[in-house]
Amino acid sequence: MNTVQYGQWKIAVDVEKTKQYYAALPQPTDQASRNFAEYCQMMPPEERAFFDSFGIDPVRCSVHGFFMDKEKTFPCGGTLLFCGSYLECPPENLMTIEELAAKDFMDDRPDPRVTIGIFRFDFIRRDFLSDEMPEGFLGIEFFCDDMKWLLKERCEEERLYEPPRFWEIHKQIAGYFRQKKQQKAFLLEEQQQFEALFQRLSISAVPLSKKEIRRHRVRWLRAYAPADANWQELRALCLDGRGCSVFPWHIFSFGVLECVQNEEAQALFDRESKGSCILLNNIAPIAYRLADASTLTAADLEDLIDVTITPENFLWTYSKTHEGMCGPYFYKKD
């Protein structure tokens, strides 16, 4: 582990693991990312040193562009991932909207962000990390106000010659909160479906925390990963793919691990002796530890959208998918 410090952030970094993570990623092909990669070829040493200190390959970063102005400035930003842990963090200085209004909306709090060259870096605190984050990794959001358009081809992003109107900003904010509300409603509906099933079958079930779910997903993949499989590629396929949906059962649907499918898989699952098991929702961060799953059948799991059930010893596993052409899948170790 290397130790780096930027501002009040003191961080332990596993540079080699971060390099391995980026080495397994494909280079993005969208315009914003390619324009960013072009800049990386001429990046000043002080900016390059920041990326190198974490083992981050900026060329493989997925970048989001916003617009291009008349001066051919192309502001962009994105999220960087690195393997490590925070040793010291600046104090979290929260302010309510009422306190901000009392100061005429002048935010005079110290800025915890780090500015290097044209980059502004914002380390993501643990409480705000995405559930999709790989185990042991942290994140950095970055933004470049003064990035130039460097590609010879025409920029496909909309040109912006004036600030957005207030109603356009209001529309974007309203859309964000509407999406969050829909996500919460979906999670609640999923939880209710699970609990209705447990109640109908008189199964004692304890919900897992988000941290326990992340650990279970990794343990599941390690338990069934073939010895000759490339771990980084397999992880990207089944756990943390970028820009696409990933599911544990991709290990079966992509032919990485041979298994029994369809009706035969359902029959084997029904005949299998089931004790204490983990029932995992493959779409949402929901999972339960079942004290005794002996009464659970493949037909019962048809009421759920996309799930994987596994005993505590990982001797076997069964996945019921949301796709009609995929699964169900059953696999048992020799």
Is beta strand 119-123 parallel, antiparallel or unpaired with respect to 137-144?
Answer: antiparallel
Q: Please, which residues bridge with residue 261 across strands?
A: 329
Would you report the helix, strand and coil content of the chain in percent, each value rounded to 5?
35, 20, 45
pTM: 0.51
Query: Could you read off the pLDDT tens digit of each residue along the chain, which spans 334 residues?
Result: 899 999 889 999 999 999 999 999 999 999 999 999 999 999 999 999 999 999 999 999 889 887 777 778 888 999 899 999 999 988 877 767 677 667 776 767 777 889 999 999 999 887 777 777 788 999 999 999 889 999 998 887 655 545 566 566 667 767 776 777 788 888 889 999 999 999 999 999 999 999 999 999 999 999 999 999 999 889 989 987 654 578 999 999 999 999 999 999 999 999 999 999 999 999 889 999 999 999 999 999 998 999 999 999 999 999 999 988 898 999 999 8
Question: What does the H/E/C string look like for 247-311?
Answer: CCCHHHHCCCCCCEEHHHHHHHHHHCCCCCEEEEECCCCCEEEECCCCCCCHHHHCCCCCEEEEE
